[in-house]
Structure 1
Amino acid sequence: MKTLTKNLLLFFIVALSFKSYSQNNNDFKPKVVYKSSELIITQISKNTFVHTSYKQTQDFGNVPCNGLIVKDNDETIVFDTPTNDKSSEKLIQWLTVKNHLKINAIIPTHFHDDCLGGLNAFHKHHIPSYAFLKTIELAQQNNLPIPQNGFVDSTILKVGSESVIIKFFGEGHTRDNVVGYFPKENVLFGGCLIKELNASKGYLGDANTKTWSDTVEKVKGEFAKVMIVVPGHGKYGNSKLLDYTINLFKN
């Protein structure tokens, strides 16, 4: 009986803690914490920030490109570089000089230059880079900056006393697109695998549209508690972005 009472008490404590966190996270008001003509940094929760830089394209104009910063204590991990070394240098300086934070890792989520176009700036500052082995292979084939450390399918990296999960679920936007998850705040960085609400299918030159929906279904199943979803381009939101992407690419 005592064990049952203890277990019930523990359940209610965990449930109340999650509810309290969910309410606090929902109450958080996003704010722009850095802005220049080349780079915008927006805080979207207590310990996560979206960095947005720009890429001029022939078909889609000047496209805003998102990455994610996650923080715990005085350490950070960055998903996707800004689109070039100049914007990446601004991001690095904002994190390390202005805010006195250590960057533990930079993680390009696929091989396109809106993910690793500024990788050399991070390497110049001796910040280690990690990527899916296929991303490294495709970067080499396309004469792009090459991530230093490879992983097979998935890896977990430490940031402060917390962890981030990086995992390949299947082909979609590219053959190598991975996603990043920050369990502490249930934030998913979907990168270009995930579309903002009402977006078009976008660039499909390296895509596998036949498997795209199935891949996102797997992401949704794995991270069922996700509260914030950040796409590679456009506005972040919640799990509705996963549903929208799944439906957009259903055959």
Structure 2
Amino acid sequence: MKLTIKNLFIILCSFTILSCNSQKTGSFKPKEIYKSDQLVITQVSENSFIHTSYKQTNDFGNVPCNGLVVKNSNETIVFDTPINDKSSEELIQWITDHLHAKINAVIPTHFHDDSMGGLQAFHSHHIPSYSYVKTIELGKKNNFVVSENSFSDSVVLKVGNEKVIAKFFGEGHTKDNSVCYFPAEHILFGGCLLKELEAGKGYLGDANVSAWSATVEKVKKEYPDVKLVVPGHGDYGDGKLLDYTIKLFRNQ
């Protein structure tokens, strides 16, 4: 082929398109996309957003508490509520105004307030809620607002054309801690069952430390293709968070 100016232009355009596609399919660069005094939202993939609110504690100071929003086709599902109704209301409004999406469901993963403390705000917007049956039982005993729907082992919910899975694997941080998985993006929300790298053991008042490692090993076996792991507190990461948590509580 004779290398004319026209042919050179076509080659350069093709290279540019390939380059752009390569960048698009490459690793997503996380970015903080919303911040107020009580709520921070960080986009960690094309369709997943960590919501972080803050709990003031006597033993650990002002603790950041994570949840997750996953999105597909203008629908979302929320894993864990922010710490209270005020910050939950803020999250609901952000999803409505900025993602322009419907909230199909909220899934609190255990009975502590850093998981279900803002549940009433979701109920006020007629958003369905789902929790493991023991989470509802323990929540009622502690006079918390609890989820309207229960599951005994796992539940699969639709978000747009995709699905999410919430499942109980065993005791650990609490007797009821479940985890949520978004297969479309291989993202695991481990809640307080999972620890960020280099974290201590944290609050153990309702824990079963002897069962903790075995429970996380079951999670790891169930989701071997996990790419991103979000703990209940601290920085997210990859499958190393599973290994770190297993090691932290092994032989307790």
TM-score normalised by L of structure 1: 0.90
The answer for the alignment partner of 2:187 in structure 1 is 187
Task: Tell me the amino acid that sits aligned with residue 81 of structure 1.
Answer: T
RMSD: 1.5
Name the residue aligned to 1:149. Answer: 149
Aligned to 1:62: 62
Cross-structure match for 1:29: 29
Measured after TM superposition, the shift of residue 25 of structure 1 is 6.7
Matches within 5 A, 1:18-97: 27-97=27-97
SS of 1:87's equivalent in the other structure is helix
Residue 217 of structure 2 aligns with which residue? Answer: 217
Q: Which runs of 5+ in 1 are unaligned?
A: 1-22
Other-structure match for 1:6 = none
TM-score calculated relative to the size of structure 2: 0.90
Q: Deviations over 1:91-125 (max 9, x none)?
A: 00000133321000000000000000000000000
Percent identity, aligned pairs only, is 69
Q: Alpha-carbon deviations, 1:111-166, whole Å to 9, x = none? A: 00000000000000000100000000000000011110001110100000000011
Which residue does 2:103 correspond to in 1?
A: 103
| Partner Cα separation in structure 1 for residue 99 and residue 166 of structure 2 | 25
Give the SS at the match of 2:96: helix
Once the two structures are superposed, the pairs formed by residues 90-239 of structure 1 within 5 Å of their partners are 90-239=90-239
Stretches (4+) displaced over 3 A: 23-26
SS at match of 1:184: helix
Alignment of 1:234-249 (within 5 A): 234-249=234-249
Matched residue count: 231
Task: Write out per-residue CA displacement over residues 149-202 of structure 1, whole angstroms, 9 at most, x where no aligned residue.
Answer: 001110100000000011000000000000000000000000000000000000
- Cα offset, 1:24, TM superposition: 5.8
**Distance in 2 between residues matched to 1:26 and 1:142, nearest whole Å:** 46
* Structure 2: runs of 5 or more not aligned: 1-22
- Work out which of the two has the higher radius of gyration on C-alpha atoms and give 1 or 2: 2
